Structure formats: C-alpha cells, structure tokens
C-alpha cells in the first residue's frame, strides 16, 4: 500500500490512497474521490489528454483526463508522482490518480494542484517580466530540475529522474511568480537497483530535441545522457523567458517559440537536424569574437570545423537544394 503525502496548500489525504499491485506499476483501485470533484472549465490541451479546473470541497484542483489510448502515459505519470518522493516547491504538487467510470467509459484521471496562470508558454505570450522575476523563474526551474535529476539515498531516498519533454508548455507559473515542472508522461528514472531507460529516444517534442537525439548519437546506456538532453531543452526555455524580460536586450521582445521562422510550425526530424547543425555557425562566430585574443580559434581549426559541417549537411541531402535556392 502506497500513500502520497500532499504537502501543498490543501490536505486531500482521503484522495491519495492507492493499492499497490505488489510489482511493477501501482494498480489503482477505483475511489469515490473523482465523484466528489466538480469539474468546471477546460484549461489545457496537451498531446495526452485534456486538463480541467475542478473543485474538491470548494478548493480548486487541476484534473488531467488522459485519452484511454494513452494509458501508458497516465501510468508513467502516476508512477513517477506516486511512488517516488517527489515533493518539491518547483515540481507540480500531486494529489491523486484515479480510474473513473463515466457512463460505462473508463477515464484516467490525474489530480494535481491548480495554477491559475497556466503554463509558462501561455504566460509569456501575454506578459513581459522584470529582470527580477525573470531570474526568479529561471532559478525556480533550475531548482525543480536539479531536484528531479538528483538521486537521494537513505530515508529520503529518491531516484534520479529525467523529464524528457522539457518545454514551456510543461512548466507552470505559480501565484508567487516562480515556476514548477509538470507533465511526467515520458520521464525515466534510475536508482541503485533499477535503471529505466527508454527504448525510443526520439520521443518528446522535436523543436526542443538536442542534437544527439536528432542525429541518434546519444549514449542510450547512460542515464546521464538523458539529463544532458533535459538541460539542452532548459536552455531553450531560458531563451524564451529572457526574450520577454526587460533589461536583457532593452525592451522585451515579442514572444517567440524556439527556432521560430527557422523551422516550420510542425518541424520534421530533417528540418530540426539541419537547423541544429547550421546553428553551430553562431558558435563559430562567437568564438572568433572572443575578447581574449588567445582564446580565438585558428583559421586551420575553423576550416576543419566548417568542412565537417558541410559534409554533415551533404549527408542530409540538403546541400544541393540550398545552393539552387541561393543562386
Ligand atoms: P500533456 O501530457 O497532454 O501535454 P500537460 O500535463 O502538459 O498534458 O497539460 C497540458 C496543458 O494543461 C499544460 O500545457 C497547461 O497549459 C495546462 N495545465 C496542466 N496542468 C495544469 C495545472 N495544474 N494548472 C493549470 N494548468 C495546467
Ligand atoms: Mg504537456
Ligand atoms: Mg505529457
């Protein structure tokens, strides 16, 4: 028998009792909880389901209803939230998971703290932030990810968890203008006895995928690889956040998704591989501009580096196409 212990604003203890199946994923007995939640409006749409605002004894909660075909994602999220010590200010607060029978149709619910500002993506589309808030949000996200990534031992033991779908739509904005990380449907974990490694690395959101995922060079045997992939995506999130801050580039810039205008709205793996490769050019330029003269690359190094890029581009069958367009 496992019990989640909510430490959030509300104590919903009677919602959190689940029965363990004894092995593997927790088998959740149907509870009366869901019936006592009053669902009101739809607040979010994701790939795996729909998120509603509900009320439990007058207190707002978020209810994520999974499509039945996405049972795997519900199980994984439940497993991550329910069996691992995950309580942290910057991780979405979990109350309960439930299987609900609605007119003979089984619904899979995940009940969490409700955050009225919604995702960081929605927030940044509307709002600019002061440098103070920008840093506060950045620090809070890093704290959340640091907690997630860290394996703890002893009585407070917790496995290392990699998120695998870090993006502004999976970060929520709290009332105090800090953030918390949500959506653990693709997360993997590692502890002393067990390593849970994905079979398919190319899951998640293409726009946020690290080069090593796109070109399939990621070391699938090392859990650390997945942490590095999370950090790559975190960098893009920080970019989205910084653009909306005053004082970074003068006035806040309009919200843009990462690589906006550089890849189409629903990019293919090919689109992504090409743009991620070509973005190496910005690194090359920055290196040439190093303030410290001796830190600048040599012309020989640059020639080799650019030749390598050009060969990789050719392998992708993009070279010719581009040359034609450029002339
Ligand atoms: P999916 O796995 O389908 O992507 P998410 O858990 O990411 O689902 O939720 C989808 C969207 O719903 C989020 O991007 C966010 O806008 C909204 N949302 C999710 N959870 C909450 C919450 N607890 N409070 C407020 N909005 C939420
Ligand atoms: Mg999501
Ligand atoms: Mg998800």
Task: Kindly report, residue by residue over 275-315, the tens digit of the pLDDT.
Answer: 998 888 889 989 998 989 899 999 999 999 999 988 888 88
Annotate the chain with three-state secondary structure.
CEECCCCCCCCCHHHCEEECCCCCCCECCCCCHHHHEEEEEEEEECCCEEEEEEEECCEEEEEEEECHHHHHHHHHHHHHHHHCCCCCCCECCEEEEEEEEECCEEEEEEEEECCCCCEHHHHHHHCCECHHHHHHHHHHHHHHHHHHHCCECHHHCECEEECCCCCHHHEEECCCCCEEECCCCCCEEECCCCECCCCCCCCCCHHHCCHHHHCCCCCCCCHHHHHHHHHHHHHHHHHHHHHCECCCCCCCCCCCCCCECCECCCCCHHHHHHHHHHCHHHHHHHHHCCCCHHHCCCHHHHHHHHHHHHHHHHHCCCHHHHHHHHC
Task: Tell me which ligand sits closest to the C-alpha of residue 66.
Answer: 1
For the CA of 44, the closest atom of ligand 1 is 12
**For the chain, what is the largest distance between any 2 Cα atoms, rounded to a whole number of angstroms?**
72
Is ligand 1 within 6 A of the CB of residue 223? Answer: no
**Residue 325: per-residue pLDDT:** 42
The predicted-structure confidence for 194-213, as pLDDT tens digits, reads as follows 888 888 888 899 999 999 99
Q: Residue 263 has which token pair?
A: 């890849």
**Average of per-residue pLDDT across 162-170:** 97
Q: Ligand 2 mean position to 299 CA, how many Å?
A: 45
Asked if residue 253 lies in contact with residue 297, where contact means CB atoms within 8 angstroms, the answer is no
Burial of 55: CB neighbours in 10 Å, binned 0-12, 13-18, 19+: middle
Burial of 151: CB neighbours in 10 Å, binned 0-12, 13-18, 19+: middle
**Residue 14: per-residue pLDDT:** 36
Question: Is 322 annotated as catalytic?
Answer: no
**Residue 61: per-residue pLDDT:** 96
**What are the residues whose beta carbons fall under 8 Å from the beta carbon of 29, sequence distance 6 or more?**
18, 19
The predicted-structure confidence for 224-265, as pLDDT tens digits, reads as follows 999 999 999 999 999 999 999 987 667 899 999 999 999 999
| The pLDDT of residue 79 is above 50 | yes
Task: Tell me which ligand sits closest to the C-alpha of residue 186.
Answer: 3
Q: Ligand 3 mean position to 74 CA, how many Å?
A: 9
Confidence of residue 190 (pLDDT cuts 50, 70, 90): very high
| Mean pLDDT lowest among 26-35, 127-136, 160-169, 308-317 | 26-35
Long-range contacts of 85-88 (CB under 8 A, 24+ apart): 85/152, 85/156, 85/157, 85/158, 86/148, 86/158, 86/161, 87/5, 87/7, 88/143, 88/144, 88/147
pTM: 0.84
For the CA of 66, the closest atom of ligand 1 is 3
Mean pLDDT of the chain: 85
Side-chain half-sphere of 309: how many Cα atoms within 13 Å? 17
**Average of per-residue pLDDT across 74-85:** 86
| The pLDDT of residue 137 is above 70 | yes
ipTM of this complex prediction, to 2 decimal places: 0.99
**Residue 31: per-residue pLDDT:** 53
**Residue 251: per-residue pLDDT:** 86
In the block, residue with structure tokens 């490769």: 277
165, 183, 230, 271: the active-site residue = 165
Q: Ligand 3 mean position to 93 CA, how many Å?
A: 16
């Amino acid at each position: 028998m496992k019990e989640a212990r909510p430490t959030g604003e509300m104590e919903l203890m009677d919602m959190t009792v689940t029965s363990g199946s004894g092995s593997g994923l927790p088998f959740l007995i149907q509870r009366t909880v869901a019936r006592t939640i009053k669902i009101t409006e739809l607040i979010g749409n994701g790939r795996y389901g729909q998120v509603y605002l509900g009320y439990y004894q007058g207190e707002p909660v978020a209810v994520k209803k999974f499509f039945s075909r996405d049972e795997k994602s519900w199980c994984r999220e439940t497993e991550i939230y329910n069996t691992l010590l995950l309580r942290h200010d910057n991780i979405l607060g979990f109350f309960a998971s439930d299987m609900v029978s609605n007119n003979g149709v089984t619904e899979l619910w995940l009940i969490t703290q409700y955050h009225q500002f919604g995702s960081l993506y929605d927030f940044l589309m509307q709002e600019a932030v002061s440098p103070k808030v920008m840093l506060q949000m950045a620090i809070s996200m890093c704290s959340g990810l640091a907690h997630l990534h860290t394996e703890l031992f002893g009585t407070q033991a917790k496995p290392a968890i990699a998120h695998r779908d870090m993006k502004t739509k999976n970060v929520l904005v709290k009332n105090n203008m800090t953030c918390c990380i949500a959506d653990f449907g693709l997360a993997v974990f590692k502890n002393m006895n067990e390593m849970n490694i994905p079979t398919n690395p190319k899951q998640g959101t293409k726009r946020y995928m690290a080069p090593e995922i796109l070109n399939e060079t990621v070391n699938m045997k090392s859990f650390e690889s997945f942490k590095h992939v999370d950090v790559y995506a975190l960098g893009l999130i920080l970019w989205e956040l910084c653009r909306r801050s005053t004082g970074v580039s003068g006035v806040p810039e309009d919200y843009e998704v990462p690589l906006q205008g550089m890849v189409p709205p629903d990019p293919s793996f090919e689109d992504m591989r090409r743009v991620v490769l070509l973005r190496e050019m910005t690194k090359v330029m920055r290196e040439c501009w190093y303030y410290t003269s001796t830190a600048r690359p040599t012309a020989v190094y640059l020639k080799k580096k650019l030749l390598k890029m050009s060969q990789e581009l050719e392998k992708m069958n993009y070279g010719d196409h581009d040359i034609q367009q450029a002339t």
